[in-house]
Structure 1
Amino acid sequence: MTTTLSAPSLSTEVAVRLDGVRKTFGPAGRAVVALDGVDLTVEPGEFVCLLGASGCGKSTLLNLVAGLDAPSAGEITLNTSRPAVMFQEAALMPWLTAARNVELPLRLAGFGRAERREKVTELLDLVRLGGAGGKRPHELSGGMRQRVALARALAATLRTGSDQGQALLLMDEPFAALDAITRDVLQGELLRVYRSTGTSVLFVTHDVREAVRLGGRVVLLSSRPGRVVREWRNVPSADVEELTEEITAHLREVISTHAAA
């Protein structure tokens, strides 16, 4: 089976760029600064892991890129089709089958019935759930539900006609609630899907090993307010254990600095 989610042609444009992004919550005088002066780019077809301690603003940043919230200052530039978001919970419609859940964003995007059916089949095959399209979420394991959620997110990046753009997938710790074995399997599956589709990915995690395994680039945020304090490029070519130890040391430094403040 050859999927229609072919790798996009890379260009000099970035998939997403954040320039001096700041986000505060609450009224003046009592405002909490979640993000402060974040500069970040994701290149077309790049897999970037955003790493940081709990409460550092990782999810807030993802929500801003997704358009679910607006920055208090700074600018976010998207050169993509509307981003698709995948959360910790699969959040599938319980009354719909797996196939219907994947079909929903295609229907909203205006795909015809025959094309929807074809793309749903391709996407379920892509996440290795070709025989589970007729099952409802309660009939699936946690890992299978997350596979359906991944297929649905990929479907949400598709557009009709010439309005394709670069595809951008935003993932907010999507495997955190799974057991270790299932998580390991789905990390491998995500890499396989990523390599076969060329989708740009911004993946939020607090797990250093997960970031090193998945990311082509790892970006470390400081504790609140979140700022980019360090990044590692060409991660797949590095020594895994050595890089994991190095990033862990920097993460511990960030956490201890925040605790001492």
Structure 2
Amino acid sequence: MTTTLPTGRSSFTGATAVRLDGVRKTFGTAGRAVVALDGVDLTVAPGEFVCLLGASGCGKSTLLNLVAGLDAPSAGEITLNTSRPAVMFQEAALMPWLTAARNVELPLRLAGFGRAERREKAAELLDLVRLNGAGGKRPHELSGGMRQRVALARALAATLRVGGDPEQSLLLMDEPFAALDAITRDVLQGELLRVYRSTGTSVLFVTHDVREAVRLGRRVVLLSSRPGRVVREWADVPLADAAELTEEITGHLREVISTHAAA
């Protein structure tokens, strides 16, 4: 198995942001081994928004963790042509003792930005997620949706590197809106699309919600139930009829779930 991660500034080729070749992940050993992913081949192009869809337990989050470098594949190869990716989870996980601005500044400080530059960049990112007046507030003073906006700004900050190309960035999102109410989720989906279009960041977004995948993704990738394998892809999603595509993908997802239940 091989995991190729960039060191310093990436030697960006422009061909792919991330590529998975024959990735397999097994937990446990011998008779207790559980195969979470088996032979996954997947690419994300620079600036592409890919939604990874599947039933609960199919290995979506495991795949995201492997791409993030939080775990290593048991077999196969993962190649990144970006700066080290940033991850946004279902929970905002902000530092409660820091203001919104300081939370966004934290990865910039770790990346080596000076005080003045990181304050400027944090202000720009908070403005990007429409929180330009909330930089001085602490997490407990913000709504759930506002905390997720701060988390998004912080994740974008984590993709930046001193002297790096902002277009060589990869954002990994693990069901970041699942815990929010329907109205807030709808608003933040729209905000995410706006931010995506204005930054050129590559996005790999995990969800089990077909409507969310169709609304957000430029491409939708369906994983089988455990062990996770790529069973179907839909390209040029924004050009399709949303209702028809949602119905089609839902049918395939139901087929995947029913096949697993019958096994």
Give the shorter-chain TM-score range. Answer: over 0.9
Deviation at 1:165, TM superposition (A): 6.6
Tell me how far apart the structure 1 counterparts of residues 164 and 49 of structure 2 sit (CA, whole Å).
25
Q: Distance in 1 between matches of 2:70 and 2:247?
A: 35
| Higher alpha-carbon deviation: 158-167 or 94-103 | 158-167
Give distance in 1, aligned partners of 2:156 and 2:37.
28
Residues 235-254 of structure 1 show CA distances to partners (whole Å, capped at 9, x for unaligned) of 00000000000000000000
- Report the Cα offset of residue 163 of structure 1: 6.8
Q: Distance between the aligned counterparts of 1:177 and 1:30, measured in 2?
A: 32
Q: How far apart are 1:164 and its partner, in Å?
A: 5.8
Taking structure 1 as reference, are residues 27 and 241 closer, same or farther at Cα in structure 2, changes over 3 Å only? same
Unaligned runs of 5+ in 2: 6-10
The separation in 1 between residues aligned to 2:66 and 2:144, in whole angstroms, is: 27
Tell me how far apart the structure 2 counterparts of residues 15 and 41 of structure 1 sit (CA, whole Å).
8
Residue 13 of structure 1 deviates from its aligned partner by: 1.8
Residue pair 1:10, 1:44 contacting (<8 A) in 2 also: no
Deviating above 2 A after TM superposition, structure 1's stretches of 4 or more consecutive aligned residues are 1-5, 9-12, 162-165
Partner of 1:15: 17
Q: How many corresponding residue pairs?
A: 258
Mapped contact 1:48–1:219 kept (Cα < 8 A) = yes
Cα distance 1:195–1:163, how it changes in 2: closer, same or farther (>3 A)?
closer
CA distance in 2, matches of 1:3, 1:209: 32
What is the CA deviation profile of residues 17-46 of structure 1, one whole-angstrom value per residue up to 9, with x for unaligned ones?
000000000112210000000000000000
Q: Deviations over 1:139-173 (max 9, x none)?
A: 00000000000000000000002476710000000
TM-score, normalised to structure 1's length?
A: 0.95
Aligned CA distance change for structure 1 residues 184 and 2 (closer, same or farther; 3 Å): farther
- RMSD over equivalenced CA pairs, Å: 4.9
Give 1:12 deviation, angstroms.
3.8
> What is the alpha-carbon distance in structure 1 between the residues aligned to residue 4 and residue 41 of structure 2?
33
Q: Is the 8 A contact 2:4 2:80 kept in 1?
A: no
Structure 1: gaps spanning 5 or more residues:
none
Where 1:117 maps in the other structure, the secondary structure is helix
1:197–1:16 distance in 2 versus 1, CA, 3 Å: same
Tell me by how many angstroms 1:3 deviates: 33
Contact 1:79/1:166 (<8 A) preserved: yes
Report the Cα distance in structure 1 between the residues aligned to 2:127 and 2:161, rounded to whole angstroms: 20
Q: Per the alignment, do residues 188 and 164 of structure 1 end up closer, same or farther by CA in structure 2, a change over 3 Å counting?
A: closer
TM-score (norm 2): 0.94
Shift in Å, 1:189: 0.1
Does the 8 Å contact 2:3/2:73 carry over to 1? no
**Relative to 1, partners in 2 of residues 1:245 and 1:109: Cα closer, same or farther, differing over 3 Å?**
same
| Cα distance change of structure 1 residues 132 and 109 upon mapping to structure 2, 3 Å threshold | same
Change (3 A) 1:259 1:4: closer
SS in 2 for 1:177: coil
- Looking at structure 2, the residues matched to 143 and 129 of structure 1 have their Cα atoms a distance apart, in angstroms, of 11
Tell whether the 8 Å contact from 1:3 to 1:122 is kept in structure 2 after alignment: no
Change in 2 beyond 3 A, CA 1:199/1:87: same
1:2/1:205 CA distance change after superposition, 3 Å: closer
How many percent identity over aligned positions? 91
Answering whether residue 243 of structure 2 is matched by residue 241 of structure 1, we say: yes
Cα distance 1:11–1:70, how it changes in 2: closer, same or farther (>3 A)? closer
**Cα distance 1:34–1:166, how it changes in 2: closer, same or farther (>3 A)?**
same
